[in-house]
Amino acid sequence: MVLENATGAYLGPGPDLSARARQVIDNPNFDVFDAPDRRVLLGKCSRLPDDEEPTAGRYGIDFHRALPLFQEDAGITCDWGDGPIPVNAFTYAQYLPKTLKFREFTANLAFAARTRAEYEAKSRIYQEFYHHLYQNHCATVIAAPHAGEVRRPPDSYHPYPQSETDAWTHRVAIRYLDMAPAAGPRLLISLHSTDYFGTLLDLGDFGLPQNGILSSAISRLNRRFSPDLLALLPAYREYLLPYTLARLQYMEKRWGTLEPEPLKTISTAVRFEVLSLMRVLEKWLPPAGSVTRAWLTRGLEAFFESPPQDLITLNHIFSGRKTAKLLHLKENLARAGFETAVQVETSRFLGQYHPELAAAVLSALERDLRENL
């Protein structure tokens, strides 16, 4: 149905997709498809700011971050030990690739820009993406903003660039087009995938008050789908555990520590990943001690020895709350007539090998929300 590379990035539509959906936009940076009452947006560009091909109109844009200021003061600074520097598109570009180590840049800004012309070109693409996301009449919009190919080679600043692709999300999104739509209020689903250790499918509430119903919705989803998901745990372990241990080994060797405090001035990106793993493994980690690869490994092994029974969770990996503020999501949803939005993080394992199951969970979530909002 779609073209993809070996690591799960979306490259474009396949010849048989036209029988299922109408292509609305074919852009070097994203595609848009419509089916009855459904719209799907699939990112094609890399989310990394130094991974682009400007002559082909393909830019490094993270559509799930804020449209940055060019050189103006945004009130955010970053300090990697040499004093504070402003966080804006120009500074992001000036210090690449070092800025990739710091979430002050990667978690806040959609792109980097060395010149005003470059800034304006990327801003137009960013705004066009959101025009097609909000300005339509479809009952359900599903957006996979990080589905695009990462071509950047590894280096000491980013040893795992392919991890920045939300791999296989296109498989889930396209299969979702085949699910029977449910009548009711308009919904936005922001679809991502992750190899962060945790549950097989995690929902984020974006901090929206109407999403208070997600707790009860997830209980219903777990009753329906947990037996199918629990049956996948042995294969999930073989898929995820070696990858996680390899990342920890590299990070500990490269930066000399996995302790969160010293990582503040070394790499806040690595610090965030370690803290996220510690949060997920809180119930399985040994008594408090030094944060080392060996200590975390014991927690990882204990997780699979006594796994949780509910493998669909809420705000367990990424809640989307910070992103909602960056994107002014509450205001934009109301302006475009959406009742709510939900962030969905599916394991890349699930997206690659069981996309129909992931799509079925999303379809059940959609129906549950429409029945209870």
Cβ(229)–Cβ(312) below 8 Å? yes
3-state helix, strand, coil in the chain (%, to 5): 45, 15, 40
350 pLDDT more than 90: yes
Rounded average pLDDT over 252-266: 92
Residues 70-124: pLDDT tens digits? 999 989 999 998 999 999 999 999 999 999 999 999 999 999 999 999 999 999 9
Strands 22-26 and 30-35: antiparallel
Give the percent of the chain with pLDDT over 70. Answer: 99
Q: Taking residues 350-373, report their average pLDDT.
A: 95
Tokens 């709350």 sit at which residue?
A: 321
Q: Which two three-digit tokens encode residue 330? A: 């509450």
Whether 289 shows a pLDDT value over 80: the answer reads: no
**One-letter identity of residue 246:** A
Q: CA-CA distance, 71 to 146, in Å (whole number)?
A: 26
Architecture of domain 2-61+126-225+311-372: 3-Layer(aba) Sandwich (3.40)
pTM, entire model: 0.91
**Residue-wise over 166-193: b if at least 16 C-beta within 10 A, else e?**
bbbbbbbbbbbbebebbebebbbbbbbb
Give the DSSP per-residue string, 79-125.
-SSS--EE-SHHHHHHTTTGGGG-HHHHTTBS---SSHHHHHHHHHH
Mind listing the pLDDT tens digit for each residue in 4-43? Answer: 999 999 999 998 888 889 999 999 999 999 998 899 999 9
C-alpha 267/C-alpha 255 separation (Å) is 8
**Cα distances (Å, whole numbers) of residue 343 to 20, 55, 103, 270, 368:** 25, 33, 20, 23, 15
Residue 180 has pLDDT above 80, yes or no: no
Sorted by where each begins, the domain ranges of the chain are 2-61+126-225+311-372, 233-305
